[in-house]
Structure 1
């Protein structure tokens, strides 16, 4: 039985991670020619192209996309096997790639990373902030924090806590359009939607009553911060968490509405690639963030 070309699979995973042959070659200490030959060798064995190549752009083919995830698993598990022996005899060290939502990451995660790095001088963190959903496996992240509904996925997810939200509007909006007193009235209003959370707005009210309302209005965005100017201008009603609202409720720039009704909370999840094998440095950060963000 012919053994798989594990070196070619690992090099392919590195090219996907670094998004270029040259960057992958620099990262793993090989020549660009060696990297290119390894990928070509793998393509020959598989009988299909893995990349679309031009002079300026490199992208995965339809066949290459699902194989990229498998290659990433091979590379991660091989690294974990090597690092497990090393980590058993020394403190965790090396780089961890972490992704998080922009506003939550700046306000809630960044201060924790300072504490973590002080306690683990051998670990480096590459902190990626974006309100877009990153592809953890294809883009080579070790873990990601997400505040969103989670679709069915091969990723491993751990729910850390619930994040409460408030229904708010600017005084100018209420003066023009009136203040709804029941969630069922929201269908008559202009609602600002957060696209990372799919489905209707759900409420629980007096006596355990439950109501769902579909958000429709002048703006839908994948960033709560991006919704704030439209909200403050009095152009709609939004459902936002406290870390986005800041002091706007205290200053009166925004006012809470439907105070007798509780919006369904959204979960904060810690996501990791599907393999249960992880280097000690990644496990250390997972344990730290799970403890600090639990509440």
Structure 2
């Protein structure tokens, strides 16, 4: 049985090379007869691998099926795929960050230690330009694995003001906003959902016991935490414009937009700078009122006075 399994894996590896194989050539590579090759090909088909028979010759080619079957990768291919997935996970290709992390988590779980070492060496000397805070790939993989396996995660966390805390969480989901990675988790000490920036997080290994997943909050709750919770200042504005007009101007990672009535919209946003908050709304092109925080209200008053004084009277 072991010999048959090993032969099937070798046959699959041969068929995955970009060429057409005759039955005789496969038989010679495997050290068996052509009849055995036909039986092994049928076994691969039963396992979901689309092995096509070549018209006119007694040969085979691995084709495309309705579903993606497992693939065999040699060492060089595995390293190349892992490096590519790590780059994609950091946002080098927009829109595939979260799926890249899921694929990378599966791949690195089965990588031999010698390949892990090669990948880390390549990562150490490679520079990926990015305008976002860097996230350690090991942190990304640890949080992704804990979320997938429903294992408690303890980590040291640095808040926006620089204070350090230790959190015990039930991790549920990773979210990439286009600029940053966030972990959506149930905070056991606070008995509430929280969002954590991964570039401020350092996991404590090993992970904890398994937990029963909770119902994840709606996207509005998650977006609100991402848009404001990780910043030094959290602000609320009332904008005199319909919500659909305001929503077109803000990404979900920047602000949450809630209609108050047909012509008024509540905007909640976060930033580490009062100037940045004022700029967000000042460039919107609609009348607005700052509701909170008090320091932003005073800052906008001072900014308005300076701007008015900078214009010579007519």
State the TM-score, normalized to the length of structure 1.
0.31
Larger radius of gyration: 2
State the TM-score, normalized to the length of structure 2.
0.30
The structure showing larger relative contact order (alpha-carbon pairs under 8 Å, at least 6 residues apart) is 1
